[in-house]
Amino acid sequence: MFALFFQIYKQKMKKIEGTFEKQKQYQQKLENIKELCQEASKKIRQGLLEGSSIKIANQDIMNIYDNIYNLTSEAGKAQAQKNMTKNQNNNKGDKVEEQLIQFFKDFLNEFIVDINEKVNEFLGEKESVLQIVSKTYHDYKAYSYWLYKMFYYLDKFVIPFIGATLCSTSLKLLKERYFDKCNKLILNTILQFIYETRKSGILLNKQIKQLVQLIFVMGYKEVELKFLKDIGEYDYICKKPEDAQRFYNEQFQQYLLKETQKFYKDEIDDRQKFTTPEFINWGNSIFILEMDMCIECYPKSRQAIENKLKMMLVKDQAARLSNSTTGVGYMLQYDRTDELRQLFQFILKTKECIIHIAKAYQSYFEQQGLIINNSIEQEQQQQKDGRQLHEAELYFTRIGNIMNKAQNILKNQLQDEPEIQKSYSGAFMFVINKNEKSPLWLAIYADIVIRNQKGVNEMETEKKFSKIVSLFQLLYQRDVFFKHYQKFLSNRLLNKQIQNLQLEKQLLQKFKGETGTNVLTQLSSMINDIEQSNRLVIDQSINKDIKFEFNVYLLSQGCWPFNVIQDNINKPLLISNILKNYEDLYLQRHNGRILTWCFNLGQGELVYKIQMEKYYLNVNTMQMIAFLQFNQSDSFSIKNILELTNIDKIDLENSLIPFVCLKIITREKQDIDDFSDENEILKLNQNFNNRAKKLKMLPNQKMQPQRASKVKEQNQEEIQQTEQINKQREFVVDSQLVRLMKSKKTVKHHELLENCQCMISIFKPDILFIKKRIENLIEREYIRRDEKDWNIYHYLN
């Protein structure tokens, strides 16, 4: 028993002796590796100190690598055998791998101690601190990289089972033992250089990029350390950049933005007296400088800096720059278009601020338009091409000129910005609708344009028609415009000399693209009437066997703007039979229709022969019937002509006054304007002579005498027209309201108002008018209010 115990004891003692022997061998090999690493470390540090290339052979690196590999492999096998026994000692501090890792850390700590001492030597000297921090950071990365190559085996095959990699360990040591101690120094150094750069306007030192990069890298957690051949530098490569960005924002960017805010607040305050162009030039130079600084030194803060500058230089200053005495209004008034373009480009950096330019732009052109509104009627009439300009033509010519100016500026300087396009429309919509005569004047202007298009090329005509339509688009009271336009259209269509159906269709087609209404249908019907009338004359050879040219226009009832039709006139025998034949011919083709002759609408040309001279008189049908009576006698009383023609006295008066004014007919009583004395005799002037052979005799407003009854008639006509338009508007609003209610069944009050306004294009109904029509529809039981919520309406079937 004793012998057996002694034998076991001897075996254990041999194992213990063998273990101590191995540990001694491991320590010797560890010391050897440490000595090799120290020698290599000295060479690396010497090369970094001299700024030259690191003179260490790859064989030396591979020798260290092989020693580490052999030692860890041998220790690994011994550890595996030991783990198979029951009494194993897991003292991790004695493991070879951990001692090797500690070597790696010790070498790095020695280097960090040295660079801390260098930095402490030059505290307060920002240039020196910048140089040293940049240099030592670069050297530390290079030093860590070469150590990493020596201990690469541990990083590849041992450390993944333990924890952090060698590269992450290197970065962690730098952060804890170096950066955390001098981070405020580094930050202040960066901010001082930035401040001086901003003051001088010149980028002073690009090396601060290394310091900024150092701050960013300190936020890394999992990294790799590589040599970047393309730039010839060593650098940490982050696996999770979002962690670094968060650290960077907290440790650097927030302080950078605070300093930026503080610096430029003072700078902007000092430049409040700058003119707008001066401030824009200064602001642009700041943007250029700051973006260059971002690109060269802290590119990761570029967006944040740009946003801060946009807020301070653009957003906070946009209203002042646009509305100042040298702002948008000044630039527009004095045609400083280049400065306006620069202002626009500057404010465009913050797009929501374009509204300030848009408002100033709109305000300027509203003022210019109002000046035209207030001055147009006070000016003396002007002439163009030998004719007097109507105030409507003068008005829209001037409005068109400033619209062209506004449009050119919008296109060339303001890049057709949508927000400013709205201001363009808003400005001229305000101006034109501020003038109560705009609907009438636009109709007159269109009439003048069409009448003067003879001999004008198609491109010029298209340009003028487009201008008319662009003005029409700005009108609120389009229905009033069409009322006047219809009257002028009827005059043009019924005048053979100026009749141009192709042009009328062309302009009407443009109106159809802007609004679809019953009025346009009426206008189209008027043109169709003239076309059918012309076809009937050609097909039936109406003028055959007639001594004079004879044209009849068939006008559809309800489409033409005539309130009074005079068909009870006594027709001269010369035309009576012709009218009867035409009527019979037409009714043969269109059985069941009713023809009514409108003698107060037609026109014609009379040939007047006197003293061997021949004159061509352009007259209307009433004038023609009255003057033809003088074929029977050289003189008539007013009463005789009234009885012979059955023409209304006022119409007869208006018809004969042009003959009196041109002295074709002479009067007994020259001292009164009107024909109040029915017994007054009118005589043909046998001595009449005129150089012009073609005379326009159509009644003219200026020739007509002043009548109190005439003013009352005009006022009554205007009242009737206004009432008619209001009734039509009521019908339009009612129809749209019912259509909306019928489609949706239940609608909220504000939604009904908004949709109704959007659906009506022929005029702009105000909210009060729509509300009244809603109440009317409730009374007529088309809709009803909700019993619980009066802001909700229900449709009644």
Quickly list DSSP for 33-48.
HHHHHHHHHHHHHHHH
Is the pLDDT assigned to residue 510 strictly greater than 60? Answer: yes
Q: Which residue has the higher pLDDT, 155 or 138?
A: 138
Alpha-carbon gap, residue 327 to 31, rounded angstroms: 80
| Segment 236-264, tens digit of pLDDT | 888 777 878 889 999 999 999 999 999 99
The pLDDT, as a whole number, for residue 283 is: 96
Higher confidence at residue 701 or residue 277?
Answer: 277
The two structure tokens encoding residue 537? 């004359």
Mean pLDDT of 673-687: 81
Task: Say if residue 87's pLDDT is above 80.
Answer: no
Mean pLDDT of the chain: 84
pLDDT of residue 93: 41
Quick one: which H or E segment has residue 212? helix 208-217
602 and 648 Cβ atoms separated by less than 8 Å: no
Q: In the predicted model, is pLDDT for residue 548 greater than 80?
A: no
Find the helix or strand (DSSP H, E) in which 193 lies: helix 180-200
Report pLDDT for 485.
93
In this prediction, residue 86 has a pLDDT band, given cuts at 50, 70 and 90, of: very low
DSSP 673: S
d(CA 313, CA 346): 9
Class of residue 497 by CB neighbours under 10 A (exposed 0-12, middle 13-18, buried 19+): exposed
% the chain with pLDDT above 70: 88
pLDDT tens, position by position, 365-381 = 999 999 999 988 666 55
Residue with more model confidence, 180 or 551: 180
CA distances from 20 to 10, 16, 25, 81, 86 (A): 15, 6, 9, 15, 19
Which tokens belong to 254?
Answer: 């927030």
Query: For 190-224, how does the pLDDT look when each residue is reduced to its tens digit (9 = 90+)?
Result: 999 999 999 998 876 777 888 898 899 888 888 88
Angle, nearest 10°, between helix axes 126-150 and 2-50? 140
Interaxial angle between packed helices 749-759 and 767-779, expressed in degrees from 0 to 180 and rounded to the nearest 10: 110
Could you give the CA distance from residue 785 to residue 98 in angstroms, rounded to a whole number? 87
Please tell me the predicted confidence (pLDDT) of residue 94: 47
Bridge partners of 681, per DSSP, are 637
Check whether 683 has a pLDDT greater than 80.
Answer: yes
- What's the chain's Rg over C-alpha atoms? 50
Domains of the chain: 27-239 (no CATH), 243-316 (no CATH), 573-706 (3.30.230.130), 718-795 (1.10.10.10)
Edge-first strand listing for the sheet containing 603-610: 603-610, 613-620, 694-696
For 253, the 3-state DSSP assignment is helix
Sign of CA pseudo-dihedral 320, 322, 328, 331: positive
Query: In whole angstroms, what is the distance from residue 80 CA to residue 95 CA?
Result: 12
Residue 355 has pLDDT above 80, yes or no: yes
More confident residue, 540 or 754: 754
Split at pLDDT 50, 70, 90, the class of 349 is very high
Partnered with residue 615 across adjacent β-strands are: 608
pLDDT (0 to 100) of residue 542:
53
- Report pLDDT digits (tens) over 751-777: 999 999 888 888 888 899 999 999 999
Distance CA 453, CA 459 (A): 11
pLDDT tens per residue across span 657-672:
888 888 888 887 765 5
Mean of pLDDT values over 474-489: 91
The confidence band for 516, taking pLDDT boundaries of 50, 70 and 90, is low
